[in-house]
């Protein structure tokens, strides 16, 4: 008798431990017999479906399925009850579940089989995945919107590049005395290099850095292109060109849009000229040995911000020696970063210019 009581206490203790473990599981866990009758349910399953646990035990499991034609039951539960080895065993499936109050939710169920001596018992683990489905759907929608935005940006970038390529007079850029590179990080950047020759064989060059990127930058600098070429071929003084460009951009651009620029005008022999810098890094005069022979810092505002004045439009006159070069660059060069996040910087630019000969300085800067 004592041994029997001890065994009963052991069984009772074991059942309590099993129930405690079952109720500690955050997912709903139910056991269903071969007739589709719920045999047990943990606390999470009762809360999930809105029933008291005593209400679930002894009821048909299909009352928890919202699918009116029983498709969910056919695919998930009924094969398990037919006595065979259903393909749903051990697999996770989704179905529409029904709560006590009639509300529905998207649930995920996994069914495993427990074979007893005289019957089969199925363990169903269920969780509410409505929020996960919502988040997944939201992520998919966001990805779709992002892809559309990316596609629209690419179309815009291609349009901006096409506009600029049609407006720039590339034949003057092929002058053997001119070397240039426009290397946007990913997209059209608003940086432009313009060169023109006057009817008196003076050479005009302009580095333009428009605010923004893509189509916005292209539209910002577009009013200056044809005007630059027209004035340059007419051999106008550089001060006159600066006033005309500033007035044109100030009229054409909205507030907040402007164009930083460096302009140079060289005489036919290349030994004298004028330079004006507004809103871009300093222009360098580089000697044949790579040392910096002169610096022309930005002392004016970018074009298109304030009305023109004689003082603000006045360029600096300089003289050059044979073999010296004029170097113009935008802040996109010095602020560019490598994979390690290191900025290119002015020091690296000067080092590249100093270690290469006049003909190789552009390539040295590209690869620095």
Same domain, residue pair 170 and 301: yes
Same domain, residue pair 320 and 251: yes
| 88, part of any domain | yes
Split at pLDDT 50, 70, 90, the class of 250 is very high
Task: Select, from the ranges 56-70, 123-137, 140-154, 184-198, the one with the highest average predicted confidence (pLDDT).
Answer: 123-137
pLDDT of residue 84: 52
Question: Which H helix or E strand runs over 138?
Answer: helix 130-167
Mean pLDDT over residues 59-66, rounded? Answer: 87
Same domain, residue pair 31 and 85: yes
Question: Which H helix or E strand runs over 284?
Answer: strand 283-286
Split at pLDDT 50, 70, 90, the class of 69 is very low
CA neighbor of 204 nearest in space, from 250, 239, 164: 239
Number of separate domains in the chain: 2
Split at pLDDT 50, 70, 90, the class of 192 is confident
**What is the chain's alpha carbon radius of gyration, rounded to the nearest angstrom?**
39
- Which tokens hold the place of 334? 């010095």
Task: Select, from the ranges 109-118, 123-132, 213-222, 243-252, the one with the highest average predicted confidence (pLDDT).
Answer: 243-252
The CATH number linked to 285 is 3.60.40.10
The CATH number linked to 59 is 3.30.450.20
Mean pLDDT over residues 88-102, rounded? Answer: 80
Same domain, residue pair 360 and 256: yes
Q: State which residues form the domain around 48.
A: 20-134
Query: Is 345:329 a contact under the CB 8 Å cutoff?
Result: no
Helix axes 130-167, 214-233, angle to 10 degrees: 10
| 167, part of any domain | yes
Same domain, residue pair 258 and 116: no
| 239, part of any domain | yes
| 200, part of any domain | yes
pLDDT of residue 11: 44
Q: How far apart are CA 94 and CA 54, in angstroms?
A: 26
pLDDT of residue 76: 56
CA neighbor of 275 nearest in space, from 319, 224, 222, 211: 319
User: CA 52, 55, 57, 63 torsion: positive or negative?
Assistant: negative
| 264, part of any domain | yes
pLDDT of residue 186: 54
DSSP-based three-state secondary structure for 56: helix
| 156, part of any domain | no
Q: Measure the CA angle with vertex 208, ends 204 and 214; round to 5°.
A: 140
Same domain, residue pair 187 and 239: yes
Same domain, residue pair 204 and 128: no
pLDDT of residue 243: 97
Q: Which domain-ending residue is among 134, 151, 182?
A: 134
Q: How far apart are CA 167 and CA 225, in angstroms?
A: 7
Same domain, residue pair 126 and 228: no
Same domain, residue pair 30 and 115: yes
Q: What is the pLDDT of residues 134-180, one digit of tens each?
A: 988 999 999 889 888 878 777 777 776 777 667 676 777 778 788 88
- For the cut 60, the answer to whether the pLDDT of residue 121 exceeds it is yes
| 139, part of any domain | no
Same domain, residue pair 127 and 185: no
- Confidence (pTM): 0.62
DSSP-based three-state secondary structure for 300: strand
State percent of the chain over pLDDT 70: 80
Same domain, residue pair 114 and 195: no
Q: How far apart are CA 59 and CA 35, in angstroms?
A: 10
State percent of the chain over pLDDT 90: 37
Mean pLDDT over residues 359-363, rounded? Answer: 89
Q: How far apart are CA 169 and CA 281, in angstroms?
A: 24
Residue 300 vs residue 24, higher pLDDT: 300
Which range is least confidently modeled, 95-109, 119-133, 185-199, 218-232? 185-199
Same domain, residue pair 338 and 268: yes
């Amino acid at each position: 008798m004592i041994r029997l009581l001890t065994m009963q206490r052991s069984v009772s203790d074991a059942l309590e431990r099993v129930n405690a473990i079952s109720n500690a599981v955050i997912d709903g866990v139910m056991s269903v017999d071969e007739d589709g009758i719920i045999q047990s349910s943990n606390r999470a399953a009762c809360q999930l479906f809105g029933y008291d646990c005593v209400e679930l035990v002894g009821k048909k499991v299909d009352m928890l399925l919202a699918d009116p034609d029983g498709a969910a039951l056919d695919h998930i539960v009924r094969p398990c009850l037919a006595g065979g080895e259903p393909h749903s065993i051990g697999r996770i499936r989704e179905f529409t579940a029904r709560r006590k109050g009639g509300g529905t939710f998207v649930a995920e169920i996994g069914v495993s089989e427990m074979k007893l001596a005289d019957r089969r018992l199925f363990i169903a683990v269920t969780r509410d995945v409505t929020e996960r489905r919502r988040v997944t759907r939201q992520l998919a929608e966001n990805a779709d919107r992002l892809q559309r935005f990316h596609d629209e940006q690419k179309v815009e970038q291609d349009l901006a590049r096409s506009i600029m390529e049609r407006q720039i007079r590339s034949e003057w850029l092929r002058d053997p005395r001119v070397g240039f590179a426009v290397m946007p990080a990913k997209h059209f950047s608003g940086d432009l290099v313009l060169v023109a020759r006057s009817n008196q064989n003076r050479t005009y060059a302009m580095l333009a850095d428009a605010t923004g990127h893509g189509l916005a930058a292209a539209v910002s600098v577009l009013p200056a292109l044809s005007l630059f070429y027209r004035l340059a071929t007419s051999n106008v003084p550089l001060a006159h060109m600066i006033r005309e460009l500033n007035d044109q951009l100030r009229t054409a651009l909205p507030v907040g849009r402007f164009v930083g620029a460096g302009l140079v005008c060289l005489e036919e022999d290349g030994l004298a000229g004028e330079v004006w810098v507004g809103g871009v890094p300093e222009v360098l005069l580089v000697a044949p040995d790579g040392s910096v022979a002169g610096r022309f810092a930005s002392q004016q505002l970018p074009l298109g911000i304030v009305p023109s004045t004689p003082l603000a439009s006045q360029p600096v006159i300089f003289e050059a020696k044979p073999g010296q070069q004029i170097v113009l660059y935008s802040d996109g060069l010095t602020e560019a970063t490598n994979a390690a996040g290191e900025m290119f910087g002015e020091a690296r630019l000067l080092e590249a210019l100093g270690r290469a000969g006049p003909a190789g300085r552009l390539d040295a800067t590209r690869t620095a």
